[in-house]
Structure 1
Amino acid sequence: MKYNIIQQKSYEFALKSVAIYKKIITENKEYVLSKQFLRSSTSIGANIEETIGAQSDKDFLSKISIAYKEARETHYWLRLLKDSHYISENDAIEMLSLCDEILRIIGEIQITIKNRNS
């Protein structure tokens, strides 16, 4: 199987998100914001997986665009969880950095596909 950097990074990000979610609900007993974060952060990788099975460039671009939107939403929830003190500064910095990296990679993929179809 060929190594797919965005597939791997989004999966690792999802795993870290699950760990942070567990920490938030255990330590802070916060269930609403943390669930929103969990849903969007794990959805990034799920949508990346769907791109791998895309049937056309149009289908691929649609799925990768959804993954990008989920990553943007996750970035929002991370900032909100940090600023409302539900996650530590260190966890927030690490996760925001990883999220930014995922956003950059997905953005580059979108540009490549759009240029290929121009």
Structure 2
Amino acid sequence: MQDLKLRTKRFAIDCWQLCAKIPKSREHDSWVRQLIRCSGSVGANYRASQRGKSTADFIYKLKIVEEEVDESVYWLELFLEIMDTNHDEINRLRKEGDELLAITVASIKTARKNKN
């Protein structure tokens, strides 16, 4: 499996590159900003989780990753609905987001199990 630090970083970069292709308009601007913020937060918070001060801190930070990647998938789903182009790229990013979400949830479950 690819290192998750690199994978979450790549996810943010790929979402940013998708957003650069979206037409600049008042209607798109808000959603573009939201996707850029939450997709970037996935990697930033994953990195922070790796420096957790305790198991509880690690889990707390992974819960943030879970929320941010789920939000990223939501914005990607919306773009898929409204965009006439880039469907392959959006679907690839959505699939990657779903995989990152599954990995994060599994990591949280494992950490909770090992904590007890």
Instruction: Give the TM-score, by structure 1 length.
Output: 0.89
Tell me the residue number matched to 2:4.
6
Percent of matched pairs sharing the same residue: 24
Label 1:113 to 1:86 Cα distance change in 2 as closer, same or farther (>3 A): farther
CA drift of 1:5 comes to: 2.1
Tell me the residue number matched to 1:32.
30
Gaps (5+ residues) in structure 1? none
Tell me the residue number matched to 1:60.
58
Aligned residues: 114
Label 1:40 to 1:60 Cα distance change in 2 as closer, same or farther (>3 A): same
Letter in 2 for 1:117: K
* Partner Cα distance (2:109, 2:58) in 1: 12
CA drift of 1:20 comes to: 0.9
CA drift of 1:87 comes to: 5.3
Instruction: Give the TM-score, by structure 2 length.
Output: 0.91
Secondary structure of the corresponding residue to residue 31 of structure 1: helix
Label 1:66 to 1:11 Cα distance change in 2 as closer, same or farther (>3 A): same
Contact 1:71 1:99 (C-alpha < 8 Å) held by counterparts? yes
Secondary structure of the corresponding residue to residue 52 of structure 2: coil
* Partner Cα distance (1:100, 1:28) in 2: 27
Gaps (5+ residues) in structure 2? none
Letter in 1 for 2:16: V
Tell me the residue number matched to 1:83.
81
